[in-house]
């Protein structure tokens, strides 16, 4: 491929060539320098550091120096990765890992044994990512052959953990095929099957030792000796996502009315059968943000990293309100805004998808920066993990935690130009009610929007014309079959969908109906 600028060339046995790689922590590059790796690190583990942020396009291992270079497919993906890991240090086998930008713009590897092995690992991962190959047909020798089934124990079970909570957490790393929950030795446990062993390995690396809630509900994860699960019923205790036709069982409680049942459930029926491949489910590696990589010595709270279902389950059980999950920073610093068009109302609507926005302040002398105060730290983490790197008004947002503990309103008589707004009493807050269903419908920005509260008189053409009126492309539209108060609309891009959500959420459709708009996980 054509070189963009200086290339980084390596002979696997000669790491002296890298002494000249003077790293520039402040200058973004697609190439990231990773240091202080454990001696027994393998290629798959290094690749897994980059997978949550985008596609890893090249890998260079310097095992003699406990270092590696990861090349991401875009500079934006690399920026998101470095920004995230600057606040959450990844740990592999009790080794804190450090990374920063390389001053090289691209990697070029040779045919030494070390690099051939790295390229083989990378090709295997890419084949599975694109769905062109299943892990059953990929030679994963040297990467560690692991079962696709994980055994999960939840220790210190202070709040209930449900099957749906586990599914939401573990789906961040790939397609979850089956889950069985049970109680053994007075501990809540689960068996969870992915489509392949490599996905299971990534999930175990990232989630083992994490807390679902602050200081409790700790995940202990090992590979199971089973290679496949046999699920007979789809209910609170067990689920086969490849077989939606399965019965719920004669005396099983329903999922809707027994939110706590899975926390203290009975065993499912398990049989060991040979693993026969990936069942055609390519894992969804390319998620927007990493989900809960361990901080040295302190397991992080997954509930603060985009796991709203966990909060919903606990709130539904009457044990916890969403705002009580974490304490800490609830003010976000949003930078790289377009100062010509940005308004407090715009940020209120967008960040309000992930929590209740209390106040917004666009900085008077630096209008490309703003402070957004969420109702609590959990919501702040949710918003940061989903919106950092997303494009708004043609510019990629940078969202980080602010050192401020709250947003100050201007003093009486102080010039402000309407740059500071207090939304604490807004009727548009989505999460005022503890256990609200909105917690279960939080998804990353996507090109497809979910519309609701549509009056009977409004037809498909009305909504398509409305969303096209801003100049955006409407690619597809579909009413829900059972409930025409709801619909899906697919925009031309994620950026257009974000802009449309901001513009048309709470739009007056007449008949006392205001349109509700959110991001959808579905496509049309």
DSSP sequence for 66-124: TEEEEEESSHHHHHHHHHHHHHS--EETTEE-EEEE-S-SEEEE-SSHHHHHHHHHHHH
pLDDT at position 126, please? 65
Q: Please say if the pLDDT value at position 515 is more than 90.
A: yes
Taking only the tens place, the pLDDT of each residue in 227-283 is: 899 999 999 899 998 888 889 875 333 333 333 333 222 222 222 222 222 222 222
Residue 277 contacts residue 175 (beta carbons within 8 Å): no
Taking only the tens place, the pLDDT of each residue in 468-483 is: 999 999 999 999 988 8
pLDDT at position 443, please? 84
Q: Please say if the pLDDT value at position 14 is more than 70.
A: no
The tokens 């708004």 sit on which residue? 392
pLDDT at position 435, please? 62
Instruction: Specify the higher pLDDT residue, 10 or 117.
Output: 117
Taking only the tens place, the pLDDT of each residue in 28-87 is: 999 999 999 988 888 878 887 887 778 899 999 888 899 999 999 999 889 988 887 887
Residue 202 contacts residue 172 (beta carbons within 8 Å): no
DSSP letter at 447 equals: S
pLDDT at position 352, please? 96
pLDDT at position 285, please? 25
pLDDT at position 26, please? 67
- Tell me which of 252-256, 271-275, 289-293, 362-366 is least confident: 271-275
Q: Region 107-128: what's the mean pLDDT?
A: 72
The tokens 């009056």 sit on which residue? 455
Give the tokens for residue 85. 């890991």
pLDDT at position 5, please? 31
Residue 489 CA to residue 463 CA, distance in Å, equals 9
Q: Rounded to the nearest 5 degrees, what angle is found at the Cα of 387, between the Cα atoms of 382 and 391?
A: 175
Instruction: Specify the higher pLDDT residue, 479 or 121.
Output: 479
* Average pLDDT over all residues of the chain: 76
The tokens 């203290």 sit on which residue? 264
Q: Region 369-392: what's the mean pLDDT?
A: 89
pLDDT at position 256, please? 32
Q: Please say if the pLDDT value at position 386 is more than 60.
A: yes
Q: Region 292-317: what's the mean pLDDT?
A: 36
Q: Region 133-149: what's the mean pLDDT?
A: 55
pLDDT at position 316, please? 35
Burial class (CB in 10 A: 0-12, 13-18, 19+), 339: middle
Q: Please say if the pLDDT value at position 7 is more than 70.
A: no
Residue 407 CA to residue 165 CA, distance in Å, equals 33
> For residue 411, how many other CB atoms are within 10 A of its CB?
7
Residue 181 contacts residue 265 (beta carbons within 8 Å): yes
Q: How far is the CA of 468 from the CAs of 10, 57, 464, 491, 493, in angstroms?
A: 51, 36, 6, 9, 13
Give percent of the chain with pLDDT exceeding 70.
Answer: 73
């Amino acid at each position: 491929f054509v070189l963009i600028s200086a290339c980084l060339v390596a002979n696997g046995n000669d790491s002296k060539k890298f002494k000249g790689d003077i790293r520039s922590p402040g200058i973004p590059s697609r190439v990231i320098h990773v240091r202080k790796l454990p001696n027994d690190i393998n290629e798959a583990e290094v690749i897994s550091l980059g997978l949550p942020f985008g596609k890893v396009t090249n890998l260079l291992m310097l095992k003699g120096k406990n270092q590696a270079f990861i090349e991401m497919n875009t500079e934006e993906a690399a920026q998101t990765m470095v920004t995230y890991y600057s606040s959450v240090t990844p740990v592999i086998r009790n080794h804190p890992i450090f990374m920063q930008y390389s001053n090289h713009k691209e990697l070029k590897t040779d045919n030494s044994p070390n690099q051939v092995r790295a390229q083989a690992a990378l090709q295997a991962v890419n084949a599975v990512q694109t769905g062109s190959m299943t892990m059953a047909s990929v030679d994963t020798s040297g990467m560690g052959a692991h079962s696709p089934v994980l055994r999960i124990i939840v220790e210190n079970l202070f709040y209930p953990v449900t099957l749906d909570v586990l599914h939401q957490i573990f789906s961040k790393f790939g397609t979850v095929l089956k889950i069985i929950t049970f109680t053994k030795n007075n501990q809540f446990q689960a068996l969870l099957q992915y489509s392949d062993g490599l996905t299971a390995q990534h999930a175990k690396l990232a989630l083992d030792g994490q807390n679902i809630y602050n200081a409790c509900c700790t995940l202990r994860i090992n590979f199971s000796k089973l290679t496949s699960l046999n699920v007979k019923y789809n209910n609170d205790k067990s689920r086969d996502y490849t077989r939606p036709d399965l019965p719920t069982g004669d005396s099983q409680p329903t999922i809707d009315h027994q939110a706590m049942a899975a926390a203290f459930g009975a065993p499912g029926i398990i049989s060991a059968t040979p693993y026969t491949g990936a069942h055609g489910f390519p894992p969804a590696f390319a998620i927007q943000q990493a989900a809960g990589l361990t901080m040295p010595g302190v397991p992080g709270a997954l509930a603060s990293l985009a796991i709203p279902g966990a909060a919903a389950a606990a709130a539904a059980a009457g044990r916890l309100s969403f705002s009580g999950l974490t304490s800490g920073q609830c003010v976000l610093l949003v930078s790289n805004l377009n100062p010509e068009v940005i308004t407090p109302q715009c940020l209120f609507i967008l960040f309000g998808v992930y929590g209740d926005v209390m106040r917004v302040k666009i900085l008077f002398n630096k209008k490309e920066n703003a402070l957004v105060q969420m109702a609590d730290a959990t919501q702040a983490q949710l918003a940061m993990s989903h919106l950092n790197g997303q494009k708004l008004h043609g510019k990629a947002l940078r969202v980080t935690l602010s050192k401020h503990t709250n947003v100050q309103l201007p003093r009486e008589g102080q010039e402000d130009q309407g740059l500071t707004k207090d939304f604490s009493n807004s009727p548009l807050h989505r999460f005022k009610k503890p256990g609200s269903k909105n917690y279960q419908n939080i998804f990353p920005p996507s090109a497809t929007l979910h519309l609701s509260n549509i009056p009977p008189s409004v037809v498909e053409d009305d909504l398509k014309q409305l969303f096209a009126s801003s100049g955006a492309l409407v690619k597809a539209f579909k009413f829900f079959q059972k409930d025409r108060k709801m619909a899906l609309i697919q925009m031309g891009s994620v950026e257009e969908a974000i802009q449309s959500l901001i513009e048309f959420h709470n739009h007056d459709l007449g008949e006392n109906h205001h349109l509700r708009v959110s991001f959808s996980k579905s496509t049309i």
